[in-house]
Amino acid sequence: MMQQLRKWSWTLCLVVMVVGLTACTNTEDTSAASESMDETTAIDTPVEEAGEAPVASESGTVPAGLPVLNGAATVEMQINGGTVVIEVDGDRAPVTAGNFVDLVERGVYDGVSFHRVVKSPEPFVVQGGDPQSKDPSVSPQMLGTGSFTDPDTNEPRYIPLEIQPSGADSPLYSRTFDEAQIGEPPALTHTRGAVAMARSQLPDSASAQFYFALADLPFLDGSYAVFGYVTEGMDIVDNIEQGDIVESATVVSGIENLQQPE
């Protein structure tokens, strides 16, 4: 009986944490969290803004007008004086990886904070990348609602949900595996050290925010887009606390694989 109770309690905790991914608020202020649940329903952007996200094809055709990574790239992040190495997979997540590498190259992540860290009752995620977090005048309760604004258009850039089924030649766009009734796992799964994009409940609403998986999180597979993995410095990721800063992010190899839209 006690084992069943513990199992039920852990299952409930997982449900709460996944719902927390949709809230994306400062966990230190529960009243603000309850208020912002109406405004922000995911790991990243508000639903109101995400309504302008691009519509992508389900056929595997890469959407136009977005950076694409044709191959691999390596990104190094300096966090708390240590180096976190991320291998970015443009072969199986070309748009998601291209967006991330492009933002790194633009310096978008230099100085952003990690606004959401969930380690209890079990290791879950470390989330950051909100461009608003560079501005000290922005309320901590607003972190988790920001997107990257393209200086060329002065509009937020959103990318489609992009997840490639294992064994497939190209990704599925704009739908979760549940919606598409795909029963196989993704080619890129939420194993410990996975790096994935945060988004709202709308599939095509990811922009700049990303998260590190602190443990194997198979219940997120097919719903959020993994685009790479931490290959060095996972101990540094494990020690990140809310408010810690990305001191710098640099593309150290593979920038030649980044293709900008014409």
Q: Which residues pair with 209 in a beta bridge?
A: none
pLDDT of residue 54: 45
Question: Which domain covers residue 155, as residue numbers?
Answer: 2-259
d(CA 231, CA 126): 16
3-state DSSP assignment of residue 34: helix
- Is residue 74 within 8 Å of 86, Cβ to Cβ? yes
Could you tell me the CATH number of the domain that includes residue 103? 2.40.100.10
Compute φ and ψ for 35, nearest 5 degrees: -70, -40
Provide the domain count of the chain: 1
pLDDT of residue 233: 98
Edge-to-edge strands, sheet with 72-79? 114-118, 125-128, 210-213, 194-197, 226-232, 82-89, 72-79, 246-253
pLDDT of residue 230: 98
pLDDT of residue 63: 72
| Model pTM score | 0.81
pLDDT of residue 60: 54
Tell me the residue type at 216: D
DSSP state of 206: B
**What is the full per-residue pLDDT of the chain (262 aa) written as tens digits?**
444 434 333 333 443 445 345 434 333 332 232 222 222 334 443 333 333 444 444 445 667 889 999 999 999 999 999 999 999 999 999 999 999 999 999 999 999 999 999 999 999 999 999 999 998 888 888 999 999 999 989 999 999 999 999 999 999 999 999 999 999 999 999 999 999 999 999 999 999 999 999 999 999 999 999 999 999 999 999 999 999 999 999 999 999 999 999 8
